[in-house]
Amino acid sequence: MNEAQAGKANGRAQRVVPILLVVCVVVVGFWEIMASRSRRPFSPFQITGEDFRAFAPVSPLWSVRPLRLPASPTEPNIVAFELTTRRDGVSTEVPETPASARTPPGLAAAPILVRLVHGYNMCDCMRIKGYKVEAVEEGMAHGAERMAQKSEEASGNPTTQQPGNSAINIEGAPASMRQIWRLKSSTGQVSIWITAMIRAGDFGETDVDVRSMAFPRIGIPDDPRWAPRGFTWRSLRHPMSNSRKFLQAKWNNSRCDWATFLGLRQPAWANDELLTLVAAWSGPSVGRDDEQRVKERVLAASDFLYGELKKWRQAGTKDE
């Protein structure tokens, strides 16, 4: 290699270093800007609990007690009610319930919690809290229609609905309007939950799967016995195990999204365009023999509150 060629090679090598430094500065600057944006507060929801101050559902079958929720423009929960069977002499049975399906007195007195929440992934939310969540039934009909169908079957005149397809279209309702879940806590308590995704604008029904919501999507639930505390002498005793748990927690907090994991995007929050209607059994642990009765009861409570919400929303639209 002559002196000219050596000089050119040396010049290129000298230019590479400052170019690499400039690229690194740009990358770090971009990362810092995006990380700062991702740490900004969540935007306020368009719909909050304040919008429902006049909503007061009343039923001859249910005693409805409103529950207090945190007052915050970024609070995902909008309204919540505890529903129990009325004890003032009004029939405690949902209309057209066959005698074989009537709820025993002990179960009939148990409360059911019904919440309207900004669209969120109920299944992963409860998995984070240590529950085992199993899908029991999907693509199901409304409670009143199911009761009528069961009544016809009990009388020996079953409907033409196929056993594997319990969905009945009601006023254009999608087949997958309701999803039933069996939740089992770490102590073995079993509960039945029912979810439905509805539009925030007109409370119309959708066929959206509650599991499709990004918030709070997780991969593997965090170990409840472990919490990140930074670098300590105790954590350094098991560096590989604690590093794995730390990365797993960070991955879950990022909603299983690489851009969020790297700090380039704000974590997914509850959906502002879809709402999740959640009805949860709050009585004693549900055994297999009582599961069908409890499902029908929770479904009836969910249908009642949804019907009241729809009527309230339609009345408000007419007044505008």
Q: What is the pLDDT of residues 240-254, one digit of tens each?
A: 766 766 767 776 776
Q: Give the bridge partners for 133, in sequence order.
A: 183
| pLDDT recorded at residue 138 | 75
How far apart CA 207 and CA 226 sit, in angstroms, is 37
Of 299, 51, 48, the closest CA to residue 193 belongs to: 299
The pLDDT of 282-299, averaged and rounded, is 93
Query: Which residues lie below 8 Å from residue 5, measured CB to CB, with a gap of 6+?
Result: none
For tokens 């709820």, the residue is: 103
Q: What is the pTM of this model?
A: 0.70
What digits encode the pLDDT tens for the residues 85-104?
Answer: 887 544 444 444 444 445 56
> What does the pLDDT look like over 100-147, one tens digit per residue?
445 565 677 899 999 999 999 999 999 888 899 999 987 655 544 544
- Lowest-confidence region among 49-63, 146-160, 169-183, 289-303: 146-160
pLDDT digits (tens, 9 = 90+) for 183-200: 999 899 999 999 999 999
Span 53-73, mean pLDDT?
A: 90
Residue 265's pLDDT band (boundaries 50, 70, 90)? confident
Enumerate the β-bridge partners of residue 178: 140
